[in-house]
């Protein structure tokens, strides 16, 4: 379980006045416009909105994969939007889990090595002394997602649903307090997608891990604790 010394009544994540625009020819496209958002600890929240409404942009900014033009992001009551590249990489590896529509696994690596990637980043030079325990934890997670027989397979040798199971194990390997999931079932047939979503939410809830999940599917959103809607760059409840 993740260690957390912050008062449990402060939100896990608080975005204030987030704005983001993309350059479009001579003009610009305002995607987020002074957006305010809070996510509580252990909360599972869906972000809905039509295609192009900015769901992925929001998750990428909150996950420090993209920068905002203005605004602040507090994570565990600490401002994180202006961290150095090195510190953001460390925060992503240790405190955040990511699940993407396109899985985003490294094709040259086995399922097991993919799950371990965030730990290699987080451990840095101490990797060698910690690797045995880390391998043990990764095997344990792959077992839990039902891939104990597939640990040495490459992503290309796995089905879409199996690849997303690897991504779920990777997202959980650092026991992060937050998982950001962008259309996690978008590339799967509805039956596989339903099972993957149930697995992700079950494992997150067992660990009191918060989840922010972008989806355009109201059936997916219905499985979350709360739904917010993105429209005109802001959240409308």
Ligand X SMILES: Nc1ncnc2c1ncn2[C@@H]1O[C@H](COP(=O)(O)OP(=O)(O)O)[C@@H](O)[C@H]1O
Residues of this chain that interact with ligand X (CB under 6 A) are: 22, 29, 31, 49, 51-57
Contact flags string 73-102 toward Mg ion, x per CB under 5 A: ------------------------------
> In this structure, are strands 13-24 and 96-100 parallel, antiparallel, or unpaired?
unpaired
Please tell me what DSSP assigns to residue 92.
H
Kindly tell me which of 54 and 155 has the beta carbon lying closer to ligand X: 54
Kindly state the smallest distance separating residue 20's Cβ from ligand X, in Å: 8
The encoded tokens of residue 89 equal 């990489």
Residues paired with 212 in a beta bridge: 45, 180
Q: Which does 209 bind (CB under 5 to 8 A by kind): ligand X, Mg ion, none?
A: none
Kindly tell me which of 120 and 229 has the beta carbon lying closer to Mg ion: 229
Q: Helices in the chain by DSSP H: which ranges? A: 55-62, 85-95, 111-123, 127-144, 160-172, 190-206, 218-221
Q: Which does 84 bind (CB under 5 to 8 A by kind): ligand X, Mg ion, none?
A: none
Q: Which does 184 bind (CB under 5 to 8 A by kind): Mg ion, ligand X, none?
A: none
The three-class DSSP label of residue 157 is helix
Kindly tell me which of 31 and 116 has the beta carbon lying closer to ligand X: 31
H or E segment and range at residue 214: strand 210-214
- Tokens 């997303």 belong to 164
The encoded tokens of residue 225 equal 């604790």
Kindly state the smallest distance separating residue 155's Cβ from ligand X, in Å: 23
Yes or no: say if 134 and 126 are a contact pair by the CB < 8 Å rule. Answer: no
Kindly tell me which of 23 and 107 has the beta carbon lying closer to ligand X: 23
Name which of 193, 186, 226, 235 is nearest 54 in CA terms.
Answer: 235
Q: How far apart are CA 6 and CA 4, in angstroms?
A: 6
Question: Per rule CB under 5 A, is residue 56 in the interface with Mg ion?
Answer: yes
Kindly tell me which of 31 and 213 has the beta carbon lying closer to ligand X: 31
Kindly state the smallest distance separating residue 50's Cβ from ligand X, in Å: 7
Yes or no: say if 140 and 114 are a contact pair by the CB < 8 Å rule. Answer: no
The encoded tokens of residue 16 equal 């204030």
- Part of the chain binding Mg ion (CB under 5 A), chosen from 12-20, 50-58, 166-174, 224-232: 50-58
- Part of the chain binding Mg ion (CB under 5 A), chosen from 39-47, 52-60, 84-92, 199-207: 52-60
Kindly tell me which of 207 and 216 has the beta carbon lying closer to ligand X: 216
Kindly state the smallest distance separating residue 55's Cβ from Mg ion, in Å: 5
Binding site for Mg ion (CB under 5 A): 55-56
């Amino acid at each position: 379980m993740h260690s957390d010394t912050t008062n449990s009544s402060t939100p896990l994540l608080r975005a204030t006045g987030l704005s983001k625009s993309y350059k479009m020819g001579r003009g610009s496209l305002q995607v987020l416009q002074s957006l305010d958002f809070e996510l509580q600890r252990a909360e599972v929240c869906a972000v809905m909105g039509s295609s192009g409404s900015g769901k992925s942009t929001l998750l990428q900014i909150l996950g420090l994969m993209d920068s905002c033009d203005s605004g602040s992001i507090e994570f565990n009551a600490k401002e994180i939007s202006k961290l150095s590249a090195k510190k953001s990489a460390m925060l992503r590896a240790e405190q955040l889990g990511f699940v993407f529509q396109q899985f985003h696994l490294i094709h040259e690596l086995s399922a097991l090595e993919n799950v371990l990637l965030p730990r290699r980043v987080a451990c840095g030079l101490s990797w060698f002394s910690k690797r045995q325990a880390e391998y043990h934890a990764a095997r344990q997670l792959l077992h839990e997602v039902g891939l104990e027989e597939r640990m040495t397979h490459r992503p290309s040798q796995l089905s879409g649903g199996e690849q997303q199971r690897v991504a779920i194990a990777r997202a959980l390997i650092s026991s992060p307090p937050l998982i950001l999931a962008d259309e996690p079932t978008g590339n799967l047939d509805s039956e596989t997608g339903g099972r993957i979503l149930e697995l992700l939410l079950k494992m997150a809830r067992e660990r009191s891990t918060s989840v922010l999940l972008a989806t355009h599917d109201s059936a997916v959103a219905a499985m979350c604790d709360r739904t917010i809607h993105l429209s005109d760059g802001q959240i409308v409840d």
